[in-house]
Amino acid sequence: PYHVSINQNLYLEASLHSSNPSLELFLDTCVASPTRQNFTTRSYAIIKNGCVKDPTYSSYYSPYRHTLRFKFNAFQFVQSNPEVYLQCELVVCRAFDYSSRCHQGCVQRYKREANS
């Protein structure tokens, strides 16, 4: 566990450990939850499908393609225990494959209209 105060900046770094230097990381989704078992029912999206959802989120420059750096402000769920769990999904791509998920960025998924 990492203990922080509300609104304190949380700095995170994710690295891919591989002998292949031509791989890069992309942060696709990062979700917070008040429980470690359920990240769907009562959750808060910081990033979803590569789109920033939390206004306190910022990404930071990394000199390495295989390392991501980002931050967001600490928060607590209302009427819940003070613990917040984080689950992030990262994508690994070939560095110069411009058709890969890593180079698509934010992907908006629209709901389809249901006809009778």
Confirm if 25 and 68 have CB atoms less than 8 A apart. yes
Q: Has residue 69 been placed in a domain?
A: yes
Q: Has residue 2 been placed in a domain?
A: no
Concatenating the DSSP letter of every residue in 30-54 gives EEEESSSS-SSSS-EEEEETTEE--
Residue 38: domain span: 8-102
Q: Has residue 89 been placed in a domain?
A: yes
Q: pLDDT tens digit string along 7-49?
A: 999 999 999 998 888 999 999 999 999 888 888 888 999 999 9
Query: For the domain that residue 75 is a member of, what is the CATH number?
Result: 2.60.40.4100
Q: Has residue 74 been placed in a domain?
A: yes
Q: Has residue 65 been placed in a domain?
A: yes
Q: Has residue 107 been placed in a domain?
A: no
pTM of the model: 0.83
Q: Has residue 115 been placed in a domain?
A: no
Q: pLDDT tens digit string along 72-107?
A: 999 988 888 888 999 999 999 998 899 999 999 998
Q: Please give the tally of structural domains in the chain.
A: 1
| pLDDT value of residue 42 | 84
